[in-house]
């Protein structure tokens, strides 16, 4: 059976999954960009259908294009360039909206059946609003935990760089070491910013809308955003497959 190979390329990680024509993801996986060849080359060599890609990282995209040519793949077909994403963006510069944000909005609206909010917490964090018609309204962007921690080390004389693991618990609020204090501040900055943005966007949308969270740093507890909070690890991959399948329909 011919399957789609869907690949998302971020600033620090890559994710991939295969999917049948029904759009259901199979064997999703992810890796750091340092692991890209070992992670992606076997998948490209095994691909027996189209390779579709969402990328926010042009240099890495070129590496994937070269690997796909070497593996004699059908593609890669780039979302937003080689095929359209069925989401209208009601923003000042629609062409500058990241395709990952639009793909996540596409799936979130289909799941919600109406207005919703999307949180994607990775290298950067985006919190976006989608109205009842599925229109992408824009949102907010701020540094993810890794960038926050790195900026403290780069911008000060004595603060160390502290690694913030994906899915890390907040830990004690009162850090009893410099490292613990940084970890407390960074993880709570993420949680606090997300909670505030979700609250303000829900108010602007005029209802208690569901929230869909994705990305390596997605706050794991459902009480972060209220009863409608759902963590969907492969939201962008789902959107990529959905956009491709709908584009391919007669």
Instruction: Give tens-digit pLDDT for 84-129.
Output: 999 999 999 999 999 999 999 999 999 999 999 999 999 999 999 9
Identify the band that residue 250 occupies on the pLDDT scale cut at 50, 70 and 90.
very low
Verify whether residue 223 is a known catalytic residue: no
Annotated active-site residue in 20, 82, 90, 100: 100
Query: Quick one: average pLDDT of 219-243?
Result: 79
Residue spans of alpha helices (H) in the chain: 36-46, 58-70, 99-112, 145-155, 178-205, 235-248
Instruction: Give tens-digit pLDDT for 150-187.
Output: 999 999 999 999 998 876 566 889 999 999 999 999 99
Q: Around Cβ 102, how many Cβ atoms within 10 Å?
A: 26
Cα–Cα distance between 206 and 114 in angstroms, integer? Answer: 12
pTM: 0.92
């Amino acid at each position: 059976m011919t399957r789609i190979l869907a690949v998302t390329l971020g600033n620090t990680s890559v994710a991939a999954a295969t999917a049948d024509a029904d759009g259901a993801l199979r064997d999703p996986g992810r890796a750091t960009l340092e692991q890209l060849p070992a992670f992606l080359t076997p998948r490209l060599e095994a691909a027996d259908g189209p390779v579709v890609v969402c990328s926010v990282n042009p240099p890495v995209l070129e590496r994937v294009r070269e690997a796909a040519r070497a593996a004699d793949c059908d593609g890669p077909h780039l979302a937003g360039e080689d095929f359209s994403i069925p989401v209208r963006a009601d923003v000042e510069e629609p062409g500058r909206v990241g395709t990952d944000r639009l793909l996540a909005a596409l799936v979130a609206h289909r799941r919600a059946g109406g207005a919703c909010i999307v949180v994607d917490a990775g290298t950067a964090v985006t919190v976006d609003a989608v109205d009842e018609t599925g229109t992408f309204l824009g949102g907010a962007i701020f540094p993810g935990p890794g960038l926050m921690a790195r900026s403290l080390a780069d911008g000060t004389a004595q603060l160390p760089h502290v690694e913030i693991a994906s899915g890390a618990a907040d830990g004690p609020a009162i850090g009893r070491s410099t490292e613990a204090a940084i970890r407390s501040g960074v993880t709570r900055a993420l949680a606090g910013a997300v909670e505030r943005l979700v609250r303000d966007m829900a108010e602007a949308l005029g209802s208690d809308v569901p929230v869909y969270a994705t990305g390596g740093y997605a706050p794991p507890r459902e009480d972060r955003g209220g009863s409608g909070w759902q963590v969907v690890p492969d939201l962008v991959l789902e959107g990529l497959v959905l956009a491709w399948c709908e584009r391919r329909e007669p």
